[in-house]
């Protein structure tokens, strides 16, 4: 009986040592064998459609920032920030939300900001193109504050963004 207990305890100890060694080797970079089905664990990105509500160059927002509006009252606040007159467009907030992108105060005309693409994966990634006039342009010295508001299907995913800088011809 004592001999059996010793054999079982020894076997259990060997299994634990092998398990710990395997765990440590995987944690230090040795990848375990993966089956083809589990080889790609990153979710594929899905393109998200969106509708431009309004775009312009004279908002009240002096810094580069983005906003997410999930209610009519939040949209009303965005509407005030872009100096718009009248009432904002009707948005079904049960199915949609509004994203506002602001380029901040710029020293001359010729700057613009626009959402160029949206993709959902682990997060909703909003690609934003910020256009600047090329350096050789002779422009008037009038500040601008470009913006764009878009409607997009609502999501519970966190938002993130990537800014894409481009240079445009002279205005």
Give the confidence band of 169 by pLDDT, cuts at 50, 70, 90. Answer: confident
DSSP secondary structure, 16-79, as one string: HHHHHHHHHHHHTT-PPP--TTTS--SPPPEE---EEEEEESB-S--S-EEEEE-SHHHHHHHH
**Do 71 and 27 reside in the same domain of the chain?**
no
Residue 53 sits in the same domain as residue 14: no
Q: Are residues 74 and 118 in the same domain?
A: yes
pTM given for the model: 0.72
Pair (17, 88) in one structural domain: no
What's the domain range around 132? 46-168
Q: What confidence category does residue 26 fall into, taking pLDDT thresholds of 50, 70 and 90? A: very low
Question: According to the model, what pLDDT value does residue 32 have?
Answer: 38
pLDDT the model gives residue 39? 46
Please report, in angstroms and rounded to a whole number, the separation of the first and last CA atoms in the chain: 93
- Are residues 121 and 144 located together in one domain of the fold? yes
Same domain, 3 and 61: no
Please report, rounded to a whole number, the percentage of residues in the chain having pLDDT higher than 90. Answer: 61
Encode pLDDT of 118-157 as tens digits: 999 999 999 999 999 887 676 677 899 999 999 999 999 9
Task: Report the SS3 class of residue 154.
Answer: coil
Rounded Cα distance between 4 and 112, Å, is 79
58/94 same-domain check: yes
Instruction: Tell me how many domains the chain contains.
Output: 2
Task: Name the nearest CA neighbour of 98 among 63, 72, 59.
Answer: 72
Do residues 57 and 77 share a domain? yes
CA distance 101 to 53: 12
Q: Residue 18 burial by CB count (10 A; 0-12/13-18/19+): exposed, middle or buried? A: exposed
Does residue 9 sit in the same domain as residue 56? no
73-104, pLDDT tens digit by residue?
Answer: 999 999 999 998 889 999 999 999 999 999 99
**Same domain (yes/no): 79, 126:** yes
Domain shared by 96 and 156, yes or no = yes
Q: What are the beta bridge partners of residue 147?
A: 56, 102
Based on the domain organization, do 81 and 151 belong to the same domain?
yes
Query: Over the chain, what is the mean pLDDT?
Result: 82
The predicted structure's pLDDT at residue 168: 87
């Amino acid at each position: 009986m004592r001999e059996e207990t010793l054999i079982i305890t020894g076997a259990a100890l060997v299994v634990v040592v092998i398990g710990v060694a395997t765990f440590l080797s995987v944690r230090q970079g040795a990848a375990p064998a993966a089956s083809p089905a589990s080889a790609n664990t990153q979710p594929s990105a899905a393109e998200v459609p969106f509708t431009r509500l309004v775009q312009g160059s004279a908002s009240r927002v002096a810094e580069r920032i983005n906003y997410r509006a999930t209610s009519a009252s939040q949209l009303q606040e965005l509407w005030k920030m872009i100096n718009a007159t009248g009432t904002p467009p009707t948005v079904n907030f049960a199915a949609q939300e509004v994203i506002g992108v602001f380029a901040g105060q710029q020293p001359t005309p010729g700057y613009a900001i626009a959402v160029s693409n949206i993709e959902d994966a682990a997060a909703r990634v909003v690609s934003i193109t910020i256009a600047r006039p090329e350096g050789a342009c002779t422009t008037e010295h009038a500040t601008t504050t470009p913006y764009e508001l878009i409607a997009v299907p609502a999501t519970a995913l966190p938002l993130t963004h990537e800014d894409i800088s481009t240079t445009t011809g002279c205005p």
